[in-house]
Structure 1
Amino acid sequence: MSGSGAALRGHDAELREALSELRGRREELSGRIREEEAERRRLQRRLRALSERLASTDESLARHLAARGELDRTIAETEAAYGKILERSQPLLDVLKGEAGNAGKATEPQSASKGKEKQAHGPKDS
């Protein structure tokens, strides 16, 4: 039995050493797990913050796009109305130019003919 007792003590020592090594590996692994869990929590907080920023940016972008669309419509309507005004004012401008030309022609001969009449008849007082 003394031989088997020594073998048993040897096995016991090896078993205790193996268990100690396994517990050490387990503690090392538990440390890594805690680090990764902490990193995971940090990433989840960051992800929530980024998701909130993304949602806020999406809402703001939608408002800006809608406002730009409204401005585009207003600009298009204004340009179309301005084009119609220009189109409709051209005949009026042509008429005014014609009338201004006619008015200038009409006043020139009358004043020139009055001067000629005075010269032809001579002064009334003489």
Structure 2
Amino acid sequence: MAQQAAVLQGCNNEVVRCLEDLCLRRDELARQIRRDEEERERLRRDVRALGERLERVSGSLARKAEARDELDKILAETDAAYVKILDSFRALLSVLKQEAGALSKTAVLESNVT
């Protein structure tokens, strides 16, 4: 009977060691789970913040692109108007040169007549 008690005590000790080992494993897994949950929550906050930032940047880009397009339109219209002004100046210069030439010829002719 003493031998059976010793075997029983040995089995009991082994069961206790196995239970302690399982408890240690469970505690380690619980720590890992808490750490992973904290990281998951941090990543969710980061994703949310990045999503908000992406929306702000996208809105800003859209407004800036619209402003650029408007400036491109204004520049094109201004350039076209400037070309028309240059053409008008050239035409005016040509007319002035012709009139000046005609006046010079008239002045020369009148000075030759006297």
**How does the TM-score come out when normalised to structure 1?**
0.77
Aligned-residue identity in percent = 46
**Paired residue for 1:123?**
none
Aligned residues: 114
**How does the TM-score come out when normalised to structure 2?**
0.84
SS at match of 1:59: helix
5+ unaligned residues in a row in structure 1: which ranges? 118-126
Query: Counterparts of 1:28 and 1:104 in 2: how far apart (Å)?
Result: 109
**Paired residue for 2:9?**
9
Q: Deviations over 1:1-33 (max 9, x none)?
A: 433332222111101101101101111111121
Rg larger for: 1
CA RMSD of aligned residues (A): 2.0
**Paired residue for 2:26?**
26
Larger deviation: 97-106 or 1-10?
1-10
Q: Deviations over 1:46-81 (max 9, x none)?
A: 221111111100000010011101111111122122
Q: Which amino acid aligns with 1:34?
A: R
SS at match of 1:11: helix
Query: Counterparts of 1:97 and 1:7 in 2: how far apart (Å)?
Result: 130
